[in-house]
Amino acid sequence: MGSPKAHAFKVASKSRDEPGLRIATGIGVIEPGSTSAELTAPPKEMVAMQREIENQARRWRLGFKIGAGLDPELFLFGVQSDIGPIFSRDFYFRPSAEFAFGELTDMVAINLEGAYRLPVTFREGRWSSYIGAGAGLNFIHQ
């Protein structure tokens, strides 16, 4: 029995929108003693794993908000999340919490919302049409 040969690999890639993120476009084996490799497309399993990792990374997003109210006069800040898809590929859970302070009024709000993306929009687009509903708990001190 001989020992397995060690191979070096050459990977061609292209950059993405995010800094530091690259996508493999070709993989080649460099034989011992050679300086070049014939590039081939990445294996289907590698591409499928990459898509699965990207989908899992997009399942949960977190954001912050800041604003002002006019009646009553309030300064507002909060945190919101977008979790999903859950239950179906078009349903998202969107909880948020807001804290507002003013001269006469203080408020804490907890919102438990859901949103259903309408099938008339593109799945990968930045904008989409949706229908949403949920419960809000508002605690006000005046």
Domain boundaries, the chain: 8-57, 60-141
Per residue in 71-129, pLDDT tens? 878 999 999 998 888 888 889 999 999 999 998 889 999 999 999 988 887 766 678 88
Phi first, then psi: give them for residue 40, nearest 5 degrees. Answer: -125, 165
The whole-chain average pLDDT of the chain stands at 82
Q: Are 30 and 36 in contact (CB under 8 A)?
A: yes
What predicted TM-score, i.e. pTM, was given to this entire model?
A: 0.56
pLDDT of 3 above 60: no
Res. 37 pLDDT band, cuts 50 70 90: low
Specify the pLDDT at position 22.
80
